[in-house]
A and B are shown apart, each in its own frame.
Chain A
Amino acid sequence: GQQVMQIPQYQHVQEGEDFTTYCNSSTTLSNIQWYKQRPGGHPVFLIQLVKSGEVKKQKRLTFQFGEAKKNSSLHITATQTTDVGTYFCAGISNQFYFGTGTSLTVIP
């Protein structure tokens, strides 16, 4: 069946370092979304990518959708303590398939 995998599962970075999480699907996706979940909280929508090869930026966050629409990445430049949380991708084909998430810890 459909699988969406994310790596790494955990990442610890020093404040100011960059961070990247990768999302890979076993099948072609129509869209991909990214969500952030703060510790103890609920997922909050960040962005949606639709087009093959699409790149979108939100301040220090850069999102990419692969050419084959089977993978995506989220890159954070110069992490801050406010970036702490778990980042999920959600691949969309006939329904939503969330990735396993990457938990980011930022060390001050």
Chain B
Amino acid sequence: NAGVTQTPKFQVLKTGQSMTLQCAQDMNHEYMSWYRQDPGMGLRLIHYSVGAGITDQGEVPNGYNVSRSTTEDFPLRLLSAAPSQTSVYFCASGRGVKRRTDTQYFGPGTRLTVL
């Protein structure tokens, strides 16, 4: 199993540009989530999904959209990039709709810089 994969690994955007960060998992996990990591701020939840077709907002959802059309994929879209969105983005997955508290497996991260 590849586990959780994320692409790209690095990305530089200009203010106002849009892009999609890709996340895929091959463990048949129902729960998937997106975090951003900033120095001194820990990991902050952006959006999460408990299954295909179901998404919900986390702590810092503004400026980001998600969709979950399949169990495997959970892309994160930046609608109009801003310098405040410069961060490291991690995707994570876990087992079971009713097991949101189960272990989360993290992808390797995407390092995004917005100029």
Please list the residues of chain A having a beta carbon within 8 angstroms of any beta carbon in chain B. 1, 4, 6, 9, 30-31, 33, 35, 41-45, 48, 88, 90, 92, 95-101
Say whether A45 contacts B42, CB under 8 Å. Answer: no
B74 at the interface (CB under 8 A from A): no
B58 at the interface (CB under 8 A from A): yes
B51 at the interface (CB under 8 A from A): no
Assembled-state Cα–Cα distance A43/B58 (Å) = 18
Please name the residue on chain A nearest to B103 by beta carbon.
A45
Given A44-B106, A96-B45, verify A31-B90 contact (CB < 8 Å): no
Given A43-B43, A88-B43, verify A33-B90 contact (CB < 8 Å): no
Contact of B104 (CB < 8 Å), options: A6, A96, A101: A96
Please list the residues of chain B having a beta carbon within 8 angstroms of any beta carbon in chain A. 33, 35, 40-45, 48, 58-59, 90, 92, 100-101, 103-109
Say whether A48 contacts B40, CB under 8 Å. Answer: no
Say whether B104 contacts A45, CB under 8 Å. Answer: yes
Residues of A within 8 A of B108 (CB): 41-42
Residues of A within 8 A of B43 (CB): 43, 88, 90, 98, 101
Say whether A92 contacts B44, CB under 8 Å. Answer: no
**New A-B contacts (12) at CB < 8 Å, excluding given A30-B101, A95-B58:** A1-B59, A33-B103, A42-B106, A45-B104, A45-B105, A90-B43, A92-B100, A92-B101, A95-B45, A95-B48, A95-B100, A97-B45
A selection of 18 A-B contacts at a CB cut-off of 8 Å is A4-B42, A30-B101, A31-B101, A33-B104, A42-B108, A43-B90, A43-B106, A44-B106, A45-B103, A48-B103, A90-B43, A97-B45, A98-B35, A98-B42, A98-B43, A98-B44, A100-B41, A101-B43
Contact of A48 (CB < 8 Å), options: B90, B92, B101, B107: B101
- The 3 A-B pairs with the shortest beta carbon distances in the complex, nearest first, are A98-B43, A100-B42, A42-B106
Assembled-state Cα–Cα distance A44/B58 (Å) = 21
Name the distance in Å between A103's Cβ and chain B's nearest Cβ: 10
